[in-house]
Structure 1
Amino acid sequence: MKTKTLAQIDGIIGLITGIILAILPFVIVMIAGISEDEDAAAVIVGMMFIAFALVKIAILILGILTLVYYKDDKRISLAPSILFIVGAVVSLIPFLGWIGGIVIIIGAALYLSSLKQFQIQE
């Protein structure tokens, strides 16, 4: 039961962070465009970059941990964990965060689709 819960958490966290990372550049441009005070916009955007850099590193660590955890489990392939790792690394590259977000969404969808395997075997 513990492995199913971890797969559910990975899927939900991956979907949420992937969607946020995919739309983050548009939000930053919108904040910079509508802001009257340039200093306040710079502080807000800087804080967003720092916060989401930590989120990207957390997704990278989550991908590595689940890769090690599920390496001997036949119910979950290695693809979702590898997609989490690749998506997090790509999103750390400036201006490519939205591509990493899309890759993370695909990995999360694979985690959620693998939940059917747990119900069949348990």
Structure 2
Amino acid sequence: MAEADPEALADVAYGIFEHLLNRGLQEKGKYLYALVESGTDFTEDLGEIFSKFQEEYPQLAEAMLARFSDVGTIFRMLCEGEGVIPTKTTQMYWIVLDAPGSAPEAIEDENAGKWLIFQ
């Protein structure tokens, strides 16, 4: 199996994590954008959700930590609006999936199933 590009893996990892973070918060009746806009401390929820992510996806969690160094850095980015508030978002995280019926080598094809995760 070919080794994954660390930067690409970190992008995918962050995109998946932010999606799971939003879902985890919504299960508790909370919304990431509302927490960020109100300045509410959600470090406990973030840590809990990241721990679950780390258990389920250790390689992805490792890639995220290699890029961001710790969960505190991720928290600060989120609080600054990165990936939460469109006007404060400077990075995009792509997750590339194969669309049903498309060949794996058609990854650059318009119909290959590119998805941009942005919450």
Task: Specify which structure has the bigger relative contact order, considering alpha-carbon pairs within 8 angstroms and separated by 6 or more residues.
Answer: 1
Larger radius of gyration: 1
TM-score, length basis structure 2: 0.33
- Structure number with the higher strand fraction is 2
